[in-house]
Structure 1
Amino acid sequence: MAINRRRLILRGALVLVWIGLGALIFVFNRGHTLLVDNRNIEADNIRAPDLITVSVDGGRALEYFSGDRDIFKVGGGRHRIRIEFSDGKPPFEKTFALPLMPDMLLLSIPRMINGMEPYFEEFHTTPEPRKPEAEALPGEEEIILP
């Protein structure tokens, strides 16, 4: 009887360990889509840099002109971004943490390099509604047969 009870406790503990490991793996390896945005911020009168090179977590570097936006797929919660300027300024490096739940986040380069918080926000894609008048071809008229 004591062996069965000990075996039951051991199996229960192993199940809890497996569940805990699964939760840790989910939290530390959670994937995000990071949209890096290099657009002017009209509300705060902040200009975006003209030409920069951005890399996230030491991955491939992408070039951004003012007004560009591109995408990075990242995994985990903490990331390091490196921004190199074409005008001779020293490179900008920053470590940041992403929240767990949103899948897609928009990171503003001008807000980040100017120290404005928050520099990232949740991004939602919304489909554009269809316009029925735009579906008709121009010059198409109703044909009435006698």
Structure 2
Amino acid sequence: MSIPSNSKSIRRTLIRGALVLLWIGLGVVTFIFARGHTLLVDNRNAEDGSYRAPDLIKVSVDGGKGLEFFRGDRDRFTVVGKKHTIRVEFSDGTPPFEGKFELPLENDMYMLSVPKMIRGIEPFVEIFHTAPEPRRDDTEEEDDFAFLREGGSPNSQ
């Protein structure tokens, strides 16, 4: 009993299609669960004075290497995935704080405020935007070669 060649090609096409869908699905899952972010951890007082940052703390994210933060410090961690844990150890004998948070997939850089998190103030994780450099107007730019057209030297002005 032999299978007609037409059904073999249909079966081969179906298997290849299933493999392509499997690879696409694997890519989507990898993107979602292995997405990297830069997390800025901030230990600063509130601008309005509503809370104070701890004097000296040691912070570790996802069980990684801990970094020491004095009041007013900010440092960065590189994290992978959506769900993360943070551990804050205090130098004054206060019991350690452990918390969980999630980072959305949309942006690359987030800032976590430790003082807000330990006090339960929402939102303690915010999108971090770098300040763009101001553009100079073309009319304000100096002409570095004007002295050549005027026949002088750059120091004679």
TM-score range, shorter chain: 0.7 to 0.9
Q: Tell me how far 1:124 sits from its aligned partner.
A: 1.0
Distance 2:58 2:94 in 1: 12
* Paired amino acid for 1:30: R
**For each residue in 1:10-41, what CA deviation from the matched residue of structure 2 results, as whole angstroms up to 9, or x when unmatched?**
11111001000011011101000000000011
**For each residue in 1:100-145, what CA deviation from the matched residue of structure 2 results, as whole angstroms up to 9, or x when unmatched?**
111000000011000111111111112433787xxxxxxxxx955x
**For each residue in 1:76-116, what CA deviation from the matched residue of structure 2 results, as whole angstroms up to 9, or x when unmatched?**
11111000001110000012111111100000001100011
Q: Tell me how far 1:44 sits from its aligned partner.
A: 6.1
Distance 2:121 2:114 in 1: 10
* Consecutive unaligned residues in structure 1, runs of 5 or more: 133-141
Matched, 1:50 2:55: yes
**Residue 116 of structure 2: which of 108, 111, 119 is its match?**
111
Distance 1:14 1:128 in 2: 47
* Paired amino acid for 2:87: R
Residue 126 of structure 2 aligns with which residue? 121
* Paired amino acid for 1:39: R
* Paired amino acid for 1:105: Y
* Paired amino acid for 1:29: A
* Consecutive unaligned residues in structure 2, runs of 5 or more: 1-5, 141-154
Structure number with bigger Rg: 2
Residue 71 of structure 1 aligns with which residue? 76
Matches within 5 A, 1:1-146: 1-43=6-48, 45-129=50-134, 143=156
Deviates more, 1:89-98 or 1:36-45: 36-45
Secondary structure at 1:41's aligned position in 2? coil
Structure 1 residue runs of 4+, over 4 Å off? none
Secondary structure at 2:11's aligned position in 1? helix
Distance 1:88 1:8 in 2: 66
